[in-house]
Amino acid sequence: MTSISLFGILVKIIGAIVIAFLGVILGLFYKGIDRKLAARMQARVGPPIRQPFMDFFKLMIKENIVPQNAVPWIFNGAPIMALVSSITILLYLPVGNIPPLLSGYGDIVLIIYLLTLPAIGMVVGGFASGSPYANVGAQREMVMMMSYELPLVTAVIALGWKLSQVYPQLNVFSLAIINAHPIWELVGPLGFIGAILLFITFAVVTPGELSKVPFDVPEAETELAGGILVEYSGRNLALFGLADAVKTIVMISLTVVLFFPYNISHLLALSGAFALIVDVMFFLVKIFLVMFIEVTFIRVAVARLKIDQVSYAYWVPVAIIGLLGLMLIVLDTIIV
């Protein structure tokens, strides 16, 4: 019994290492694609797709400078906290037909908590740096966190509530369960419209979670000279870059799992390893398409908002859209 449990633990450790490695590689690769597409949409050549990899390796060999007024152990620990928490979320995400590595050890409620840790790491690091620019950026990050949590939680609760009405015996907040029961197949006409509104809500929350334009006010290079990251360099800045790349994959994958958890292997009459490979490839394609919509297109099409505009946008119009989507799903259930 002990050997079996030790073997299981060893498998999970190896699986976690593999997932972390693939998450980092995939995150940097998609970040390069995002930058290239954004440049093309602005009639620029843009950097090569491998540029994020080059930036990471260059920063890793640069000197890691700690400001004189900083709190060193917090300043150096914040990037590690941001990266580790981002990678941890990957262990709870299903990929195609592959269940999460830590399936049964947490659900989407835990993931929402974990999503706040990279942002908290940046806030703590900004305050610990001793820079006035970083302090302002950290304050903005805190305001933005409090602003987008309501619409994010609303979308998640709406999906879980609908699943609980159809499958009361299941753990409706488990990502594996949500991935196996797409919301579009559980609702009628009103609920379908509500699900669309919930997707819009989640799509608008995503660039806020990632601090991308138009919600990049915590960094705002033209205003705060980099904001939270203004004092970071070398290895610490490289780790924050990795955390951003991994968190991008996390948020995009969450969108796919919550709203587009479909596979195509059954349509092609595939089974076994071929079905697994095809579904994983299809999952990567879905990630690319969702990334283009939620990150690339939005940051090219919209200018940066001011912090009061960001707070208002999330608390009023986006929250209202999310609550309206929830109401339509509830009405759809009552009518049916």
- DSSP assignment string, 130-163: T-HHHHHHHHHHHHHHHHHHHHHHHHHHHHHHHH
* Domain boundaries, position 156: 2-335
Q: How confident is the model at residue 222 (pLDDT cuts 50, 70, 90)?
A: low
pTM > 0.75: yes or no: yes
Q: How many structural domains does the chain have?
A: 1
**pLDDT tens digits, residue range 165-187?**
888 888 888 888 888 888 998 89
Smallest CA-to-CA distance from 128 within 201, 72, 188 is with: 72
Q: How confident is the model at residue 336 (pLDDT cuts 50, 70, 90)?
A: low
For position 312, what pLDDT does the model report? 92
